Amino acid sequence: MDPRTPLLLLAAVGVLAVLLDRPLALGLLAATSGAVLLTRDIGRTWRLRALALALATVWSTALSQGLFYSDHPRVPLLTLGPMTVWREGVAHGLVQSLRMLATAFAGLAVAASVPPDRLLAGLVTLRVPAAPAFLAVTALRFVPTVGREWATVRRARSARGRPLGSLGPWARLRAEIALLTPVVARTIRRARTLAESLDARGFDASAPRLQSMSLSFASWERGLLLVVASTVLGIVVLEGLTLAYLWEIAYHPSLRPLYGVVRSWL
């Protein structure tokens, strides 16, 4: 697969996450991104962790927004003593969490399926400046390393007779945060070593260079990108027409079914 294809699909997911505003539409977008991530070779453990993180993100965002929603009108959904969970706040939190999940799942799927060198070639071919592209790919390259180091620190704690499973929820959260200290320290040391190595070799990310690989889209990739681009463009046009109607700039009676589709589904 041409590395530009997943990058352009990731950009389309980001645009749709901004444009869409209904929980059902955003849920379908997040589910699609999550399904693509689950097809990647990330292992059963990381699949379960991704699912748990998704559920925790949706639950915490919806609950926090439901508790502290201050706009009007608002309808109480649940009352627990002095606390009230507002229905409109829960809906708003659900929308925000699904936006985060859709883009996060899509980004993880790209990171898990495209090697760093091809990812860098795709970014440079898409006219992304070489220096930011190199920094992004380098940071992405060490994400699995940081994850393995964190798992090693957790196993070391358990081997010393202090397993995290025996702690309460808040104590476990504090312990997990404390475990990040050696991981962050090694990350800073690794970054310094990498910077010194690049500087010693006279590396300049902004200097012009020749690409070692030629990139070309396959026919199915062109078709897929055409369908996705047409879908995104169609949603942009529909959203623009609806905003023009809501802002009293332009209104066409024949477009009322489209206005209804946007307000009900998008």
In a domain, residue 210? The reply is no
In a domain, residue 159? The reply is no
Residue 215 has pLDDT above 70, yes or no: yes
Of the three residues 115, 145, 177, the one that is the final residue of a domain is 115
In a domain, residue 208? The reply is no
**Is pLDDT larger for residue 169 or for residue 74?**
74
Residue 233's pLDDT is: 92
Return all residues near 241 (Cβ < 8 A) that are at least 6 apart.
Answer: 250, 255, 258, 259, 262
Please state the pTM of the whole predicted model: 0.80
CA angle 255, 263, 20 (to 5 degrees): 115
**Hey, what amino acid is at 93?**
G
Instruction: For residues 244-266, give the mean pLDDT.
Output: 81
Residue 156 has pLDDT above 70, yes or no: yes
In a domain, residue 260? The reply is yes
Residue 257 has pLDDT above 90, yes or no: no
Give the closest residue to 13 by CA, choosing from 99, 122, 95, 97: 99
Instruction: For residues 182-207, give the mean pLDDT.
Output: 81
Of the three residues 52, 81, 115, the one that is the final residue of a domain is 115
Instruction: For residues 35-41, give the mean pLDDT.
Output: 83
In a domain, residue 13? The reply is yes
Residue 226's pLDDT is: 93
Burial of 221 (0-12, 13-18, 19+ CB in 10 A): middle
In a domain, residue 197? The reply is no
Q: State the total domains in the chain.
A: 2
Of the three residues 76, 97, 115, the one that is the final residue of a domain is 115
Tell me the residue ranges of DSSP E strands in the chain.
Answer: 76-80, 83-86
In a domain, residue 6? The reply is yes
Return all residues near 237 (Cβ < 8 A) that are at least 6 apart.
Answer: none
Q: Which residue range forms the structural domain that includes residue 254? A: 217-266
Residue 167 has pLDDT above 80, yes or no: no
Residue 8, number of CB atoms within 10 A of its CB: 19
In a domain, residue 187? The reply is no
Instruction: Kindly report, residue by residue over 43-76, the tens digit of the pLDDT.
Output: 777 788 788 888 888 888 888 888 887 777 788 8
